[in-house]
Amino acid sequence: MQLDSSPVQPLPLILDSLPNPAIEERTCPRRTRSQIDLILLAIEALELGGSEAILALAQELELQEIIKNRVNLWRMRSTNPLRKAHTRRPLSLIEAKALVVITCYLARRLTVVIRQLLLAYQQMRDKQIPLEQNLRLSNYLERFRAHFRSRMNPRRSGVIAINSNEKLDELALSLLEQLLFCTGTAGMQRFWISLFDGEVE
Amino acid sequence: MTIQRSYNLPNCTLIVEGLSEATFSAESDVRPLISILVNAECHLAATTQPLVGGRDFFESLVTAVSTYAQEFLSKVHHPDAHKPRLVQLQKVNDNRHRLIVQPEISGEGLHADSHSNGVRQIDLTTVQLFDLVEAVDQFFADRQTLPDLSLQLMPVSKRYTSSGQQLTKQAVPATVGVSSLALAAIAFFFVPIPEVQRPVQPRPQSSSSHSGHLAIGNNDSDQYLANSTPHNFLEKTLYDDC
């Protein structure tokens, strides 16, 4: 198990339910890093004060040894290759687990909002009404687009490919659906395992 | 006397009816262990008639739902989700998921919806799908009910993914390139040495031998652009150079 230079301490129990995937490296593949950052972005678009909430929850769940402070969190999230501030720093499995746990706890707090938005999306889509006509949905989509554009590197082809409003809205809604699954009884395990689909031997 | 347990969500109620194998269950056993399934029902808001069946049906239902949920989350193809089974889930579009249920051999209690041979098809929205997944997960989490059926999650191996297939496709031009290099080398071997006295320079090999080489650079591949959908753009652009 990879640990940083701090003395060996027992890992928080809360991470125990997330098994280590059978990947060659002991750090996270690119898709995993990107997915985690983007789903946190979706949470920030749902709820104002996102990064404060993440840090506060890290404290509450006794994960502050892993997610130490705002800068540390930002560095972890910048392992997303799409970011302007992308660094080649690896994202360790423990860090990824901590972020996934936090994602799911935050998602659970937002269960009602997530369901309401998805039900609204469903109804509007069925009736072919433009999504902007639902205020809450349109706020979420607008905030997601704004966060995405301010943080992601516009020169990367992966970003160019989805930089239209339409494609970003599709991504935002897809992430919202994943967040719904994160609220479930087995949401944390499901989301965690899904991050390594197609990455293991 | 059978015991009934239900797992209730707004769009789905799962009911498991079974027997406990324990010959002596203490009066104080609030929740005895159900180890034998007698009957299972899945009530979905999307349809009026519940799905009903025995062990085979129920096992197939929970397996299909669990595997499909993973495929939905990662958008990575799960071969297991597409095996022919009593119960299957298929994606219709981003917001429609089709539950297809074959009749069990006994076939009792099933009314044909739109098919004469007892096969049922029910379309679920994503929220309805989630409620079904959650009901199944609550069942899995209940260790006092059919504990032999539990949540089994494994990531899909890379050889089953489209990127694994793409690696294969890219390897083919490389092998072709290498073979043509070998052929060129053999062909040049038979070229007669010119008669002039100056030393013979070896001819430069053709650059086609490198056509299949995976592009590895700092930036993502430029191969997949505007036509990619958001979720599979991530697959295609991000780990193409792994």
DSSP B121: E
A87 in contact with B, Cβ within 8 Å: no
Average pLDDT over residues B120-139: 97
* β-sheet bridge partners, residue B41: B15, B52
Contact A198 B141 (CB under 8 A): no
User: What is the ipTM, given to two decimal places?
Assistant: 0.92
Query: What is the average pLDDT value for chain B, to the nearest integer?
Result: 75
Hey, how many other C-beta atoms are within 10 angstroms of the C-beta on B140?
Answer: 20
For residue B86, give the DSSP letter.
S
Q: Which of B78, B94, B134 sits opposite A184 (nearest CB)?
A: B134
Touching check for A148 and chain B: CB below 8 Å? Answer: no
Token reading at B179: 């073979």
A47 within 8 A of A102, measured Cβ to Cβ: no
Torsion angle (degrees, nearest 10) of CA A88, A94, A100, A106: -110
In the predicted model, what is the mean pLDDT of residues B187-215?
51
Q: Which residues contact A189 (CB under 8 A, 6 or more apart)?
A: A17, A18, B151, B153
Select the residue of A81, A186, A196 nearest B220 (Cβ to Cβ): A81
The pair of structure tokens assigned to B125 is 């929205």
CA distance B200 to A101: 68
Q: What is the pTM of this model?
A: 0.78
Distance CA B32, CA A28 (A): 43
pLDDT of residue B218: 39
- pLDDT value for B210: 41
Chain B touched by A189 (CB under 8 Å): yes
Return d(Cα B88, Cα B66) in angstroms, integer: 11
- Structural tokens at position B173: 């031009």
pLDDT at residue B232 tops 60? no
> What is residue A40's DSSP assignment?
H
Bridging pattern class, strands B120-124 and B96-101:
antiparallel
* A155 Cα distance to chain centroid: 22
- Strand ranges across the sheet with B12-19: B3-9, B12-19, B36-44, B51-53
Name the B residues in 135-154 with CB < 8 Å from any A CB: 137-138, 140-141, 151, 153-154
Whole-number average pLDDT of chain A: 92
